[in-house]
Amino acid sequence: MSSPAKEIRPDRGGPFYFVANWKMNKTAAEARDYLKILEKSLRALPDRWEAVLAPPFTALHAVSDALKRGPLKIGLAGQNLYFEARGAYTGEISPLMLVEAGCRYVLIGHSERRIHFGEKGPLLRKKVRAALEAGLIPILCVGEELKEREGGKTAAVIESQLKETLEGDALLQKEFTLLIAYEPVWAIGTGKTPDPSEAEAVHRQIRAFFHAFEGALSILYGGSVTDKNIGAFMKEPNVDGVLAGGASLAPETFSRMIEIGVEAKQADR
C-alpha cells in the first residue's frame, strides 16, 4: 500500500479534529462541570471541524446526556474497546456498548495501551475491524519510542505499525472515515515535541501509505500539544488536527487550543 508521497491532503481528506483524551481522569461529576465551563468558552466550530471528547468509560453516559441537552456540538470517543460483541471478557467493553453510550469514535492502539497492556498489531487489527463493523470511527494511534527515533527508525516503525494493523485489509477498499494519530511515545506527557516540520514529514508518510484508501482520512498529531504550540502544528499542511492529553483536561485551555488551531489552519489557506 505504501508509495512515495505524491499528494498533499487530497480532496478525499477528512475533516479537521481536536480530540481531548482525558485518559484515567475525571469522574462523571467532574466531567459535567467541565462541560459547563466548555459551553461558556467554546465558540461554534466552522463546517468540517470537529471537537471530540474521550472521557473514561464511567463518564461516557454523563457526558453524552449533557451534550444532548446543551448547545455544544461535540463528538464522543471511547478510549479503548474489545473486539468481541459480548461474552466472558471481564473488564472489557464492547463496540456496541460504546455506541449505546453515545460514542461515534474510539481510540485504538494508544501507546499507553501498547506499553502497559501489551497490545500489538494482530489484536489492534481485530479492534479496528470491530469498531468499523459497529459503525464507530477508529482513531488509530501510532508512534516511535525515543531509542527508535535516535536510531533513525521512525519511518520504519510507523510503516510497520500501519502494516500490521491495516495492510491487506479488504475494509480499506471501502469508503469510511479513518483517523490516524501520530504520537511519538517520547513526546507524550513529557513537554517535549518534535519540530512541527518533523511531524509533517511523518504525516506525509502516513498520507502516502493510504494512497489507495477510498475513504476520508484525517491525520492528527499528538504528544504534549498545548495552547502554546498548537498553532505551529496546525500550520503544517498534513496536520489535520490534534490529539491532546494533559492540556485538554482544563476546559478553558482546550477551547483556547481549538480557537488557535482553527485560526492557524485558516490563515494558511
Q: Which residues bind to ligand PGA, rule: CB under 6 A? A: 21, 183, 188-189, 222-225, 243-247
Q: Which of 183, 200, 203, 236 is catalytic?
A: 183
Q: How far is the CB of 186 from ligand PGA (least distance, A)?
A: 10
Residue closer to ligand PGA (CB basis): 66 or 225: 225
Residue closer to ligand PGA (CB basis): 23 or 213: 23
Residue closer to ligand PGA (CB basis): 41 or 229: 229
The grid cell for 250 is: 482544563
Q: Which of 110, 144, 159, 203 is catalytic?
A: 110
Residue closer to ligand PGA (CB basis): 2 or 229: 229
Question: In the annotation, is 211 catalytic?
Answer: no
Query: Which residue's CB atom is positioned nearest to ligand PGA?
Result: 245
Question: In the annotation, is 110 catalytic?
Answer: yes
Q: How far is the CB of 21 from ligand PGA (least distance, A)?
A: 4
Q: How far is CA 130 from CA 84, 88, 98, 117, in A?
A: 7, 17, 12, 19
Q: How far is the CB of 203 from ligand PGA (least distance, A)?
A: 16
Q: How far is the CB of 181 from ligand PGA (least distance, A)?
A: 7
